[in-house]
């Protein structure tokens, strides 16, 4: 007996929707913007959300508008992460300068 699942079985097991992934990405974006979620943790979420998005996109329930919405939301999350990391870098640099002048 073969223990590996067929592609059809795997597709049927995935009940994730693009709308759910969009909602999760929006929540992560809000948490990063509010400073309540570490950007390293958020980056791991983004990586996982993108992988799940690829699986969903390959499924039969995927729509062009859903894929577009997910891509737009994930791109916005990437921007928020970059801005957050840039802010942290500026703050660290300012702290080093203050330490050097003291």
pLDDT tens digits, one per residue of 7-57: 555 555 678 899 999 999 999 999 999 999 998 999 999 999 999 999 998
User: What is the structure's pLDDT at 11?
Assistant: 55
Q: What is the pTM of this model?
A: 0.77
pLDDT tens digits, one per residue of 45-100: 999 999 999 999 888 888 999 999 999 999 999 999 999 999 999 999 999 999 88
Q: Where do the structural domains in the chain lie, given as residue ranges?
A: 7-101
CA distance 24 to 22: 5
DSSP string covering 2-54:
--SPPHHHHHHH----HHHHHHHHHHHHHHHHHT-S-HHHHHHHHHHHHHHHH
């Amino acid at each position: 007996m073969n223990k590996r699942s067929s592609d059809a079985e795997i597709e049927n097991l995935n009940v994730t929707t693009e709308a759910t992934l969009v909602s999760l990405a929006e929540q992560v974006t809000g948490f990063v913007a509010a400073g309540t979620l570490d950007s390293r943790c958020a980056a791991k979420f983004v990586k996982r959300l993108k992988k799940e998005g690829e699986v969903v996109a390959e499924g039969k329930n995927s729509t062009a508008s859903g894929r577009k919405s997910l891509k737009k939301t994930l791109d916005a999350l990437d921007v928020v992460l970059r801005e957050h990391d840039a802010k942290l870098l500026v703050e660290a640099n300012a702290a080093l300068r203050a330490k050097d002048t003291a």
